[in-house]
Every structure is written in C-alpha cells, then in structure tokens.
Chain A
Amino acid sequence: MESTQQTESKIIELKPFTDEMIVNMGPQHPSTHGVLRLELRLDGEIVREAIPHIGYLHRCFEKHSENLSYPQIIPFTDRMDYVAAMNQNWGFCLAVEKLLEADETKDFEVPERAEYLRVLICELNRIASHLLSFGTYGMDIGAFTPFLYAFRDRERLLLLFEKVCGARLTYNYIRIGGVSEIIPLEPGSIAEQNYLDEIEGFLDYFEPKIDDYNDLLTSNSIFSERTMGVAVMSEEMALSYGATGPNLRGSGVDWDLRRDEPYSIYDRFEYDIPVAKDIPELGAVLGDCWSRYKIRMDEMKESVKIVRQILAEGLPDGPVMADMKAVRPPKGEIYFRSEAPRGELGFYIVSDGTPKPVRVKGRSPCFSALSALQELSRGLMVADIIAIIGSIDIVMGEVDR
C-alpha cells in the first residue's frame, strides 16, 4: 500500500498539473477582424488550442441568391469581402459572363473599355484592401500610427471609387456585361481625363509612401521580432488547407491566377508576382507571419505598376456595357475563380435557363486560410494568435457569407 502511494506521489511530481483556462476571444474583441470567435485553451500565456467558431456574420448569401435575378445578386457579393468589394463584384460577374458566353445563340462580349475600367478599379481596390490589411496588422501588433496612415491613403482611393459609382464601401459597380454607367465617364471627355489625372496623382503620392511604411513597420525590429519565425505555414500545409493568394505566395508557392490562368485582359500587362523566400540575414522564415505580410506590401507596388500601364495606354473608346437585354444564361453550370486581394475567389453557379440561378456557391479564400489557424496557433502565445489572424488577413463577411 505504501509503495503504491509513493509511486503515485512520484507521478504527481513528474506531471506538474496546471489549470487550463478556457477563454472566449470574440466575437466582440478588438482584433479578431470582425466577429470571429476563438475558443482558446490557455495554459498561462501559452495557447494549447485555438478553435475558431464562425457564423456570426452569416447572411444566407447563397440561399438568397436562389431567389434573385443575376444582377440582383451583385450587391450581395459586395457584402462578402466588404474591404475589396469591387473584386467580389468582378468575380461573380466573370462567372456569369462565362455562362453567358456558352450560349451560342447570342453573341456576348464584354466591351474593351469595360475591361480596362474593371482592371483599373479592381487593382486600385486591391491596393485599398492591402492598405487596410497593413494598417490593422500594425494595430494588432501594437503600433497605432500605421493604421491611420493607411486609412489616410485609403480615403483617397475611396474618394476615387465614389467618383465612379457613388459608394465608398459596397460599390455594385461591376455589372454583368460591363461596368455601371450611373456616373457617366464619357470617352475622351474632360471628366475622364480629370479622373485619370487624379489616379495618377494618387499613384505619384502613394508609391514613395510604400517605402515609408516599410521603414516604419516592416523593418521595425520589434515588429520583426513579433512576426518573423512565428506560425510558419509550410508549402505542403498551405496547399493542403487550400490557402490562396498572399497566404499561399507567403509560403513560397508561385501561383497567381492573374498570370497562370489569365482572365479579362491581365495578359496584356507586365507585372511581377511577389513570392516569399527564406531571408536568413533578416531572420524571416518562409511561410511565417512576416512573409505573408510582406507579400501584401510588395503586391501594392505591383498593382501600382498595372494601373500605371493602363494610365499610359489610356482607356479605349466604346461602350462600357455589353449589348444585351436581360441576363438569362443558358442551362448549365460553371465554376470560375479569380484572384481577389485575399486569394482565389470562386463562384459555382448552376443555371436552369431562367433569370434566377438554381444554386450559387462562393468559394471563400478567407475561410480556407482561417481553417489553418487551429494548426498554426498550437503552442504559441496569446499575442501570437493575434499576429496570425492579422497575417492571414481574414474578412469575416467572406468567411460566413
């Protein structure tokens, strides 16, 4: 009896028992980027497990879509990734247009001018989205000032968007067959010239600012300490979780739909696809938070390049809307994916030939990236969880739809 007691006490000594604390981070929390709820099992500051719970922003986008005509669905896509709504509009429109093109009885083509406007606006929107990501990431790590710098610059972009569609956040600008004509931008008019000049002015102002931001935050030693080598997502892991966009390229996979499966007129421009690398002299590990963040900073420069090429060419003349009476795709189904700022945005649409789709499914890049959080965060600290959420750059509107 005594001997068993002794061994038992030894076991207790060998396994010091500490209480685990279960903490609900969110859905109302300053830095869960919306209404993400994380169930944290904490051992002191160490996170044993972080279980994401989603669904707090679920608005039945997909079910709603079954009862709406195709053009009516576009405003719903605005509310998916509300930070980059132009790209969401475009993703949906591209899918529907692919369906329409399949109809041999009608001759459907998106006009040249509309394509140029789409690329122009969507690349600007990508900058706006990455700016917000940069700003909020700084705030997650504890630096407040970059956030306001980012918003100052984003404000100028929002004013630009406002000038073409009247809205600042939910644009509903890109329509099936072209772009909205609510605020006309006559080809060759003074208004058009002024608008393009204004964009050029913004780019001239913004391009050196990116280097400023890199000095302020990216190369800050505290910031690098906090993000380099934290939550390394290997190439295999990124692929197996279906991470796309900057998260995938941050893990070293050279994949961008704009270049590898060119849609619209992306094959006409020259730009680089930033891909992360191991940078041992800085301390950055391939696939860590810093790499993912840095990809976004570099992508802003590439977007500026694309927009500059459009400005140099000038917008072509012609209509901005395809000639069609009603959106009535033929019977069939389509899955089309495009490169949104947060990754691969796919839409699966089943049509039965009526003006309303039978089924719409959105493939959210944020959802896939968020699913990796549980594995990434194991064994890290509470502060690291915040760094991970910021670096995979989720928008809950898109995760929950």
Chain B
Amino acid sequence: MPEILSESFFPKINLQESSNWAKDFVQEVVIPRLPEAVAGHFSVELLAILVMLLCAGIFVAVVPLLPLVLVLAERKVAARFQNRTGPMRVGPWGTLQTLADGIKLIFKEDYIPPQGDKILFMLAPYVIFACSFAVFAAIPFGQNILVSDFNIGIFYIMAISSVIVMGVIMAGWSSNSKWSLLGSLRSAAQIVSYEIPLGLSILTIVMLVGSLSMSQIVASQAGGIFTWLIFRSPFTFLAFFIFFISAIAEVNRTPFDLPEAESEIVAGFHTEYSGMRFALFFIAEYANMFAVSAIAVTLFLGGYEGVLPGYDFLGGLPGFVLKTLGLVFLMMWLRWTLPRLRVDQLMNLCWKYFIPISFFNIFGTGIWGLIFETDDVWSIGISCAIIYIGLISAYAIAGRIFARKPEPQPSSA
C-alpha cells in the first residue's frame, strides 16, 4: 500500500462532525461496492473527502445555473409587466438568451482602468462572487440537501454576507471613477445600516427556536403551515416583513437600488467593469437575490417542510424551491413597479422605523415566550387571531390615510 494513501498519512486531520455523513456514506455504500483489491488502498477519510469534493462539485456546478435561470426569469417577468415578450430569439422562447449573453461577456475586452488600483480592481468581483456563493453552503434545500450543517448556520450567513460590502467598496475605490466611489459609499452605508434590522429580525426567530442551526430552525417548523415561524407569534409576522424589506435593501434591488442607480450615478460601483468581471457582479446579484429569499423561506416560511401537517405536500426540495421562487418573484414585482428612494429617505426608513420596530419585536417575543411556554394550539391560535385583527385594522387605517382624495380641480379659464 502506498504510504501516501494510508491512514497514517493523515493522522492529524480531525474531520469535523459534519463530515460524518460522508464517512458513513463511504463505509456503507462505497466500500462494499469497491473491488476488494482497490478498497484496501484507500482510507475511509480520503474517500470521504473525495465524496465531499464531488458533492461540492455538483453544488458549485448547479448553483451558478440559478442566476442563469433567474436573469432570464427577471427579463421575462419584466417583459410581462411591460407589455413586451422579452427575449425571444435565442432558443425556444429565448431560453438560451442568458447563455448567449454570457458567451458574449466572456469574449469582451477585460478593461482595467489604467489610473485605478489594478489588484483591487481585479479582486473585487471575486470577493463578491465568492461571498454570495458561500452563503449557499448553509442553506438547507431539503432534508439532507445541505452542504454543511453548522451549529451557527444563520450567524455564518450574516457574517459572510457582510463581507460583500468589502467587495463593493473595493470595486468602487479601485475603479478611480467618481460614480463608482459614490455608488460604493452609498452601498456601504446602506448594507451596514440594513444589516441591523436584518439581524434583529433573525434574533426574534433565534429566541423562539433556541438555536442558530439552520436545520434546527427548519425542524422546529415541521407540522404544517401554522407551525411556520411566521405565524408563531405576531412579532415574528412583523419580523418577516422587516426581514424581507431589509433583505431587498441588502441585495440592492429597487426600491433600494441606490448603489447602482442607473439614472443617478450611471451604474454605481460597477461602472468601470466590463466583460466577465461585470458578469460576475451580475451573477452575484442574482445569486444573492435567491439566497436571501431562501433564507427568508428557511427562517419564516417553513423551509423544506410541507404545508399540511403529516403530509409532504409542497415539501422537500421542490416545495422549498417553489416558495423561494415565489419570494424572488415578489422581488421582481417590486422592482418593476416601484420608484427609487433617496439616500436620506432610505436611512430614515432603516433607523427611524425598522430598527425601533425590530427592538419592539425582540421585546415582544420575550414577553410572548414568558406567556406561552410551549407552542400549542392555543398560542398559535391566539397569534393567528392577533395577526388577523392587526392586518384588518392596518388595512382600515391605511385605507383612511391613503384613500384617493378628490383630484384637485384645475382652475378654469
């Protein structure tokens, strides 16, 4: 047996708990199927690493396809909103349009501004790209479809997605363009601000579940739509909306797309980028969009758990993807309907409304936890009743405030 493949070669490697599934898989599935002559040459750890690499490979291959689909979906959705057909030429119903665009972008000149900071300029897209894909590692797509089941999954996601702002600032600074600088600084201010209500909303969930692990958060929502965390208490219901709106701000989409506001600062932080580097920003944006929707689904909408208790209806991977795409569609809908906020209004919304409401949420969740020690029919029933009454009264109040006032008559001749 060559020594390099023996167990003694990796004595110090202490594979974490999370790799146990790979070890089990190797021991139970792979080793019995390998010819004995071959099997003896490989250690279980090495095979486990190979299996994990293979899985990661599949993951890395599949996840970038998401933006490819989402870009097309966005264009088609936008087209439908705007009485157009969208891309129709490449492939049936334009389904290969993004592929064609990607190929075009690869062949374009990779322009680097000579006055800029070359290294940072080249590095920035990769920072953003890598971070937005690293988030996927902790998202449970299905019962066992999870790259790594951290015990601090949601914390990891928050941490990784904060690093994206570094990439944005790098891109803005290194381009040596004033529009880029403005865009990146806007983005920095925005992401840092909106991270707070985002984190506080997550905290309400963590308080209820008592765990940071994504799989545990999902497991606590097993048992139908009314055990989803969004309906667990009125405060989580509120937290969901704060989370979702902050998430839209976090991924820089309309109405919070100030960092790349086309009509104001040209293209914001990626003004100077072209070719594949620009494509990386673009892909990362859509990957981010999917990621935050997936997180929202995991935290609030039951993750991969089904709608009905006891049945797997709309559960598992298809259910999860469906729910996520629903939220993604909502984001697209908002994007093609709403205008853009101004910087100060954006900050007002965050600091004057979202953060106080989030604190109120945390306080309320604590009280809720004191009153209802366990989640039973009573607590969920009362919660749903409060949500229902709240929605009705909010609708009535909003109707009174925003009721269409009689149009001011033009003063006649």
Contact = CB atoms under 8 A, between A and B. Distances in A.
Nearest to B262: A30
Interface in A99-147: 138-145
The listed residue with most A CB atoms (<10 A of its CB), out of B402, B405, B411, is: B411
A30 B410 contact: no
Contacts of A30: 262-263, 266
A275 B410 contact: yes
B83 A383 contact: no
At the interface, is chain B mostly helix, strand, loop or mixed? loop
A381 B344 contact: yes
A9 interface: no
Contacts of A217: 339
Contact of A148 (B83, B412, B413): B83
B264, B336, B412 pick with most chain A CB within 10 angstroms? B264
Interface string A216-243: 1101111101100000000000000000
A324 interface: no
Contact of A145 (B81, B186, B342, B408): B81
B182 A144 contact: no
B85 to A, nearest CB: 12
B260 to A, nearest CB: 11
A382 interface: yes
A277 interface: yes
Interface in B381-408: 402, 404-405, 408
A141 B410 contact: no
B263 A149 contact: no
A221 B183 CA distance: 24
A148 B261 contact: no
- Size bin of chain A's contact surface: 35 or more
B410 A273 contact: yes
A221 B404 CA distance: 12
Interface string B175-187: 0001100100010
A281 interface: yes
B261 A142 contact: yes
B112 to A, nearest CB: 21
A165 to B, nearest CB: 27
A279 B98 CA distance: 47
Q: How large is the interface on B (under 10, 10 to 19, 20 to 34, 35 or more residues)?
A: 35 or more
Contacts of A167: none
A219 B339 CA distance: 12
A225 B338 CA distance: 12
Contacts of B178: 21, 23
Nearest to A148: B82
A156 interface: no
Contacts of A149: 82-83
B339 A142 contact: yes
B340 interface: yes
Interface in A257-278: 259, 271-275, 277
Contact of B255 (A139, A222, A272): A222
Contacts of A382: 182, 264-265
A182 interface: no
Contacts of B182: 23, 42, 45, 382
Contacts of B338: 142-143, 220, 222
Contact of A383 (B78, B179, B254, B264): B264
B336 A144 contact: yes
Contact of B263 (A142, A145, A219, A274): A142
Interface in B237-272: 254-255, 257-258, 261-266
A144 B82 CA distance: 9
Contacts of A220: 338-339
B214 to A, nearest CB: 34
B343 interface: yes
Contacts of A274: 410-411
A43 to B, nearest CB: 12
A192 interface: no
Nearest to B177: A23
A62 interface: no
B413 to A, nearest CB: 5
A37 to B, nearest CB: 14
Interface of A: 21, 23, 29-31, 42, 45, 138-145, 148-149, 152, 216-217, 219-223, 225-226, 254, 259, 271-275, 277, 279, 281-282, 298, 302, 381-384, 386
19 contacts: A45-B182, A45-B343, A139-B263, A141-B263, A142-B340, A145-B81, A148-B84, A217-B339, A219-B404, A222-B255, A222-B341, A225-B345, A272-B413, A273-B410, A273-B413, A277-B411, A383-B261, A386-B263, A386-B264
4 closest cross-chain pairs (CB), A and B? A142-B340, A274-B410, A31-B263, A143-B339
